Structure 1
Amino acid sequence: MTTTPETEPPKGRLLRAIDATVAQLWSWGPLYLLIAISPGLALWPLLRAPALRFVVKNDLTIGQRYEVLAAIAASVVATTAAYVAIWRRRRRTEPELGLGASFAATNRWAFVLLAGPLLIGLSAVRIEVKHPVFTSFLMAAVTALAMVFFYRALGLKRFAPPEDPFVPARDGRLARGVFAAGLLGYCALLCWFSLLDHRNLATTVYDLGIYDNLVWQTAHGHFLDCSLIRGGNHMSAHFDPILLLIAPLYLLYPHAETLLVVQTLWLASGALPLWLSARRRLKNEWMATILTIVYFLYPALHGVNMFDFHSVALMVPLAMWAVYLLDCGHLRR
């Protein structure tokens, strides 16, 4: 005897409904749950900065653990409300759209929120020194999430080989505007951090004091002389005549802060050859802009920028310009 939905016992229909519900929840539920708790996990450490070390040390007090749970609960409620609001908005144009299908579609874009707690983890003091493997994992995870998000946002169907370049960006002006905003933002933020670091007495005689001394003397006609170096001249240890180019700027404001600002602006300028190289190769200004944003977010660049002043740091943009010009075939330049 064949069982039909009409003749199937109520218990059987209930089990089938439960199975269908579980299968649907399993398709989008785990990712949704991770997304829902991510804002809470990211925001709580920002509100309790001294407790950020819990990322690498499990030393939260009982009270702090309850605070974390409360933050997660509030995050789940807020995220769920947002998901439901999106579903109700979509039903205006898609009356047959189910709640599960809407949640799954929202997951496709909201997954980028997973990067929030990972970025907070990367902000833990000296995590890159004390836990390099864990730091590498966090960086790789954030990079993967960002790549998938931009891959979908730009509507890319596949990664094209060099002989089949990306389709040019539809709105190049907006891409260039984002690039300019990133460049100015990096200059402003890192200049502020560098000056704040200096005024908090975190810079040293070795090497900011040495460079301040020798650039002052160079600006006053004593090429690379330095009273803090054995022999009285910087060439006894290094040969970096490029500092002669900085001397006129130093005369405008003869203080160590000038060197910190010049170094920041110089390092930031490395984004220009990077953007030009990426645009030339990928034929897409948005992809070029994304690569420059990655450059601005690169922790190693921040480390060079914030470590006093060193003439060797000025090599970074010069090397990038050399790569770009070689790729363009401008050997003389």
Structure 2
Amino acid sequence: MTTLSPAHVAAPAIAVRARSIGPAVMVGLITTAVYTVFSWFQWKTFVVPSWDLGIFTQLAKQYASLDAPIVAIKGDEFNLLGDHFHPLLVLLAPIYAAFPSAFTVMLVQNVLFGVAAGTIAFAAGHLLGHPAGVLFGLAFGFSWGLQGAMEVQFHEIAFAVPLLAFSLTAFLRRQWVACMVWAMP
């Protein structure tokens, strides 16, 4: 009589998860890479379609210095908390402190969009199979809305996109509390 140890039982489950997450990771990496190439061309050719990158780079610099978000682009001593309340942007501080550049801010947005596209691919893959999941993830990642947001180089909605993708995934799994928690920020 052969008995299976917990390791033997867990191994197939881990292999199934690894195969399941692979296509989603691929979608996230492709989305991030394509948007990063586009951002690099904007950066190298000095394309500036809006003031947002400058505004949010100054905000990240202030937060990285542990200062109030005074943004000179908007005016002398202009505190951005009086204009918009976006506490999630404090998450830019440690990244900007490590890599102080406006291009870093652009890369953060690209990664956040890639995470969201991978999340959508993962959820769709569980419901419809991996090929359809990849297609849904790529369709989401390169949708008109995300392309428009990415084209302006950075906007605070960048942090909302993966949160909404996580919320949608929880909704599809009928995990109502998780859905609400991810949607709340």
TM-score with structure 1 length normalisation? Answer: 0.44
The residue that corresponds to 2:59 in the other structure is 214
Unaligned runs of 5+ in 1: 1-170
State the 1:255 CA deviation: 0.7
Aligned residue number for residue 285 of structure 1: 130
- The aligned length equals 162
- SS of the residue 1:308 aligns to: coil
Q: For 1:244, what is the secondary structure of its paired residue?
A: helix
The one of 193, 196, 215 aligned to 2:41:
196
Q: Percent identity?
A: 23
On the 8 A contact 2:23/2:130 being kept in 1, the answer is no
Relative to structure 1, the CA distance from residue 280 to residue 186 in structure 2 (aligned partners, 3 Å threshold; closer, same or farther) is: closer
Question: Offset at 1:173?
Answer: 7.0
Contact 1:179 1:293 in 2 (8 A): no
Shift of the alpha carbon at 1:178?
A: 4.5
Contact kept, 8 Å, 1:275 with 1:288, in 2: the verdict is yes
Q: Per the alignment, do residues 176 and 320 of structure 1 end up closer, same or farther by CA in structure 2, a change over 3 Å counting?
A: closer
Q: For 1:288 and 1:307, locate their aligned partners in 2 and report how far apart those are by CA, in whole Å.
A: 28
1:221 CA drift (Å): 1.0
| Counterpart Cα distance in 1 of 2:32 and 2:119 | 16
Instruction: Report deviation, 1:249.
Output: 0.4
Q: Is it true that 1:298 corresponds to 2:140 in the alignment?
A: no
Structure 2 partner of 1:241: 87
Distance 1:252 1:287, change over 3 A: same
Q: In the TM superposition, what is the alpha-carbon distance from 1:172 to its structure 2 partner?
A: 9.0
CA distance in 2, matches of 1:252, 1:224: 18
Map Cα deviations across residues 267-312 of structure 1 (whole Å, 9 max, x no partner).
1111233123223433x22221221122233233222112121112
1:206 offset after TM fit, Å? 1.0
Match of 1:316 in 2: 161
Q: Distance in 2 between matches of 1:243 and 1:313?
A: 9
**Distance change in 2, residues 1:241/1:303 (3 Å):** same
Relative distance call for 1:317 and 1:251 in structure 2 (3 A) is same
3-state SS in 1 of match to 2:87: coil
The reply on whether 1:271 has 2:103 as its aligned counterpart is no
Query: Amino acid of the residue matched to residue 248 of structure 1?
Result: P
| TM-score, normalising length: structure 2 | 0.75
Deviation at 1:202, TM superposition (A): 0.7
- In the alignment, the residues of structure 1 paired with residue 158 and residue 22 of structure 2 have an alpha-carbon distance, to the nearest angstrom, of 27
Structure 1 Cα separation of the partners of residues 113 and 88 of structure 2 = 15
Match of 1:251 among 87, 97, 100: 97
Check 1:312–1:279 CA distance in 2 against 1; reply closer, same or farther (3 A cut).
Answer: same
